[in-house]
Structure 1
Amino acid sequence: MIGALVFVGSKMGLPYAPPLVLAALRLDVAGLLLVPIVAFQYEYWLPQTRRDFIGVTLTGVFTLGATNTLLLAGQQYISSAVGAIAYSLMPMLMTAFAVLILPAAGLDRSDVVGIGLGFIGALIVANPTPAALLTSRVVGVGIMLASVVVFALGSVLTQRLDPSMPRITLTAWGALLAGLFNHAVTLRFGGSLADVEWTVQMVYALFVLGVIATGILYVTHFELINRIGPSRASLNFYVQPIVAAPLGWVIFGRQVTVSVFIGFLIIVLGFALIEYQLVIRIWRKFIGIGTQE
């Protein structure tokens, strides 16, 4: 549910700040919040080993920095629900990259079919017909998908690197570096803090994006990847469209079309094929609880 606030908070803040500036401010807030926390709570709060420094750089420049640049750039063209649905491809991409990068991962026939269904669902959501190939929606979904690819790849690479520092410490320094990276990108492509309109809604959007949807969400996500693996840690991305769609309708008046809904269902079906054993266990547990009651 927290993850859905990324897309809702982005739509709230974009009218008052350029996308790249909003992405930088989001990460500034998260980094400035998390670094003092880890400094007071953890003895191992500074990068010490070579892998630590590589992990912080990878997280800051790639996994968080480039991801948020693309996310905010794409979100300006599409609704919060469509953005959340684009991100529901995360588990399948995590699985694909894990197979390529992690030594213990493997890929069977159901995985291949599931990943294929995921991309078919994404195409249905984007609806890139020849007559509307360069519409804002198609462009927005394309940029969001690029953001998903960068985040999934960066997460799996970090797991493969396996830095010594705690995940919350890695995330804290990564967020701080990502903010600096995004400010540099902003200066390169135009835009500055002077372009921000500091309204109450803008401040609220930064709280939602920086504190809840970055500080809390990313720490939880990276810790789950470390404990249960990238694919299962990404299950929460399927809840995000369910939450983002009604929030987007209530706050912004944006409705979800039938094709977008069908695309999302196909993406979910694809993941069910990839993690069919997990789905069966959950279903058996659900039936067992229902039977006892």
Structure 2
Amino acid sequence: MSRLRNLSLFLVLAAVWGSAFVAIKAGLAYFPPVTFAALRYDVAGVVMLAYAAYAVDDPIPRGRDQWLEVASGAVFIIAAYHSFLFLGETDPAVTSAVAAVIVSLSPLLTTVFARAFLPAERLTAVGALGLGIGLVGAVVLANPDPANLTGGGTVAKLLVLLAAASFALGSVLSRASEADIAIETMEAWSMLLGAGLTHLVGFALGESVADAVWTTESLLALGYLSVVASGLGFLIYFDLLDRLGPIEINLVSYVAPVFAALVGWFLLDEGITLTTVAGFLIICVGFGLVKRDAIREELRAAGVVG
């Protein structure tokens, strides 16, 4: 039951974060990029703090270790990741497909950081092969234009790569932390502190909240990203991070493009091609290799294998 719960939550997270790419693209038409990211976590942080006050006994971090975990999440997972990602995606050379390919490097980068901070999280040779196959599947699914991958926008692509590295490092540091802090409390304060840092980055880049254009579409994009993708999404993410570890949970960056393609087809009438299906199947093979032991145990428990 625990494995089924983890798988269900993993798929929900992939669906929420995959569909968030549509909301980000919609919102960037109305907001300065870094300010957009900061506003997202202003709202999400307040919502999560209210939820933490309701759900846990102590919604305020206590002691050095708890504040260090909050700070690592705020700096790497909230501020750095979203500032780099939103800035990178403003360049026309960085299409959604190109960004998806670069962000899909996150699980590989996670294994690099895990070797330094979490020796017990290292993959076996078969698991590493599955990770590589999953990356190939993400590339096939995204089906980027080779000219966009190798052409202009070098700085923007580097920014997206830095975003993926920031997220991977933040995941590993959070897992390595020995602080005993409720997920809701850690998430709320990481978002609030991260939002403040992101506002400072936006201010340094000359952005202003006054430049935002407030329409029904922009409010819907901001609301979805704040409450669903950030509030609910990170609540699931940090729960699974504690259960699965950073390498396995960051496989969500392989699966999220599947849901991004489905949402794009449903809402934006973007076609589902044979390439999309092939990429999805390749991702399934890679995911199966990484999770082969858990799958084997589930099949044995169901009486399918001996």
Displacement of 1:11 in angstroms is 1.0
Contact 2:107 2:131 in 1 (8 A): no
Native 8 Å contact 1:75 1:83 kept in 2: yes
Superposition RMSD in Å:
3.2
- Tell me, yes or no, if the aligned pair for 1:18 and 1:196 is still in contact at 8 Å: yes
For 2:272 and 2:170, locate their aligned partners in 1 and report how far apart those are by CA, in whole Å.
30
Shift of residue 264, structure 1, vs aligned partner: 6.1
The residue aligned with 2:129 is: 113
Q: What count of residue pairs does the alignment treat as equivalent?
A: 288
Q: Which runs of 5+ in 2 are unaligned?
A: 1-14
Q: Deviations over 1:86-106 (max 9, x none)?
A: 544444443443333214223
The corresponding residue for 2:290 is 274
User: 2:261 pairs with 230, 245, 250, which one?
Assistant: 245
Does residue 104 (structure 1) correspond to residue 117 (structure 2)? The answer is no
Question: Could you tell me how far apart the structure 2 residues matched to 1:280 and 1:263 are?
Answer: 24
Q: Could you tell me which amino acid in structure 1 is paired with residue 175 of structure 2? A: Q
Which amino acid letter does the alignment assign opposite residue 188 of structure 2?
A
DSSP-derived class of the 1:2 partner: helix
1:1-293 paired onto structure 2 within 5 Å: 1-76=15-90, 77=92, 78=94, 80=96, 83-84=99-100, 86-118=102-134, 133-136=150-153, 142-255=158-271, 266=282, 269-281=285-297, 288=304
Structure 1 counterpart of 2:113, one-letter code: F
- The verdict on how the C-alpha distance between 1:269 and 1:135 changes in structure 2, with shifts beyond 3 A counting, is farther
Helix, strand or coil for the counterpart of 2:121?
coil
CA contact (8 A) 2:30 2:212 kept: yes
Provide the rounded CA distance (Å) in 2 between the counterparts of 1:131 and 1:91.
23
Are the equivalent residues in 2 in contact too, given 1:168–1:223 (CA < 8 A)? Answer: no
Distance in 1, Cα, partners of 2:124 & 2:55:
43
SS in 2 for 1:288: coil
Cα distance in structure 1, aligned partners of 2:205 and 2:302: 51
Following superposition, the deviation at residue 204 of structure 1 comes to 0.2
Q: Per the alignment, do residues 99 and 234 of structure 1 end up closer, same or farther by CA in structure 2, a change over 3 Å counting?
A: same
Identity %: 33
Unaligned runs of 5+ in 1: none
The CA deviation at 1:224 is 1.2
Relative to the length of structure 1, the TM-score reads 0.82
Amino acid of the residue matched to residue 288 of structure 1? V
Of 107-116 and 154-163, the range deviating more from structure 2: 107-116
Q: 1:150 to 1:131 in 2, by over 3 A?
A: closer
Distance in 1, Cα, partners of 2:148 & 2:24? 29
Deviation at 1:241, TM superposition (A): 1.7
